[in-house]
């Protein structure tokens, strides 16, 4: 087996998804999912036929929602396939590099490791802003720059001005990829309006978060026609199953989009409530600003608090191992009932701490 497996795969540390970690509880606030179950009806008697390579109807629906031409959209199996596909299509081993900014989504690094592509990791500033000076100094052989906006796990937005500045100073042979998985919670901050202006801009989107369709694994790449055509060449022959396409189409009807927008407002309201309550606890050092459906908090003794919350059946995400996030925990925003349940559990911990 040692001779069979390439060394970079032997050394690979796989992504530890919320499900892969194997934690079980009664309330899940660890994967940034929508807290409401999505009701869908699917009736298809044509499952013996292969699906369309790219569903025209789904492209049309997402085009209307995103205000991007269907010819500039590629349907993928979630954002994760988009991240992978870009490296597969554009990066050459021992030549090209990818750049990202920790702390951020781990799959930029892991996808580069899978293809044995060199990585340049430029840490965010202490304010969680992009270090443009360091980016400028490290552009040699950079083929792809990944920016998660809003950023996961910090929750903050990067300034549009900073991203446009980057587009203006990087070579046209470097792709700037903006991962907008959480942009539906802050839609006015999307960079999609710049797609016609910059030929090296790529945007990643998903239906997993605000749309509450994480189980479908349906995402989109938005870019110019030439880049979409290149990506089509390396995409799997039948990437999106027919049931996935048809259920996604259902949920992109105008009536359902209004419902989604209502759910987004509920999440933002619940987040505001949760933050207000969290500010009353002495063991919480800092609550970081968030423009997504989760918040990051810095606490005293994060491991102890994490285990306390878990012991009460609530699962959140420990981010303490990440660069610059010592003693930090990430909490997905759930229903109002789930938020109140979490507050109750945190109050128990506060009481125990006072007794000690």
Question: What is 7-33+256-355's CATH topology?
Answer: 3.90.1150
What confidence tier does 162 reach under pLDDT thresholds 50, 70, 90?
A: very high
pLDDT value at residue 352: 58
97 with 117: CB under 8 angstroms?
yes
CA distance 14 to 332: 22
Q: What is the pLDDT of residue 43?
A: 78
Confidence at residue 354, expressed as pLDDT on a 0 to 100 scale:
42
Residue 356 has pLDDT above 60, yes or no: no
CA distance linking residue 32 with residue 55, whole number of Å: 27
**Buried-exposed string 267-293: b where 16+ CB fall within 10 A, e elsewhere:** bbebbeebeeebeebebbeebbebbbb
Whether 291 and 157 have beta carbons less than 8 Å apart is answered as: yes
What mean pLDDT is reported for the chain? Answer: 94
pLDDT value at 44 more than 80: no
The average pLDDT across 279-295 equals 96
Looking at domain 56-253, its CATH architecture is 3-Layer(aba) Sandwich (3.40)
Domain ranges, ordered by start, for the chain: 7-33+256-355, 56-253
Coil/strand/helix, residue 52: coil
91 vs 93: CA distance, rounded Å: 7
Q: Which two tokens stand for residue 97?
A: 């590099």
pLDDT tens for 200-245 read 999 999 999 999 999 999 999 999 999 999 999 999 999 999 999 9
Considering the entire predicted model, what is its pTM?
0.94
């Amino acid at each position: 087996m040692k001779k069979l497996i390439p060394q970079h795969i032997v050394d690979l540390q796989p992504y530890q998804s919320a499900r892969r970690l194997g934690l079980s509880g009664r309330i899940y606030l660890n994967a940034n999912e929508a807290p409401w179950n999505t009701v869908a009806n699917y009736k298809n008697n044509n499952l013996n036929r292969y699906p369309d390579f790219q569903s025209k109807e789904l492209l049309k629906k997402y085009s209307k929602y995103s205000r991007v031409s269907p010819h500039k959209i590629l349907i993928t199996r979630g954002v994760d396939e988009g991240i992978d596909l870009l490296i597969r299509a554009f990066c050459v081993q021992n030549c090209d590099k990818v750049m990202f900014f920790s702390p951020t989504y781990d799959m930029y690094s892991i996808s580069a490791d899978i293809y044995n592509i060199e990585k340049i990791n430029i840490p965010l500033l202490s304010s969680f802003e992009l270090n443009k000076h360091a980016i400028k100094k490290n552009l040699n052989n950079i083929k792809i720059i990944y920016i998660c906006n809003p950023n996961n796990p910090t929750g903050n937005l990067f300034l549009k001005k900073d991203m446009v500045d980057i587009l203006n100073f990087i070579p046209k042979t470097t792709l700037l990829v903006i991962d907008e998985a959480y942009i539906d919670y802050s839609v006015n901050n999307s960079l999609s309006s710049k797609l016609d202006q910059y030929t090296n801009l790529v945007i990643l989107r998903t239906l997993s978060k605000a749309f509450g369709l994480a189980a479908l694994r349906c995402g989109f790449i938005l870019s110019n026609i030439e880049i979409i055509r290149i990506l089509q060449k390396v995409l799997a022959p039948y990437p999106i199953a027919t049931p996935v396409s048809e259920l996604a189409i259902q949920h992109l009807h105008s009536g359902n989009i209004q419902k989604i927008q209502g759910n987004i407002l509920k999440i933002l309201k619940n987040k505001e409530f949760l933050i207000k309550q969290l500010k009353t606890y002495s063991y919480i050092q800092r609550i970081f600003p968030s423009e997504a459906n989760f918040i990051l908090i810095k606490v005293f003794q994060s491991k102890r608090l994490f285990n306390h919350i878990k012991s009460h059946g609530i699962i959140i995400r420990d981010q303490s191992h990440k660069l610059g996030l010592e003693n930090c925990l990430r909490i997905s925003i759930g229903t109002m009932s789930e938020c109140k349940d979490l507050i109750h559990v945190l109050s128990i911990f506060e009481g125990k701490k006072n007794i000690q």
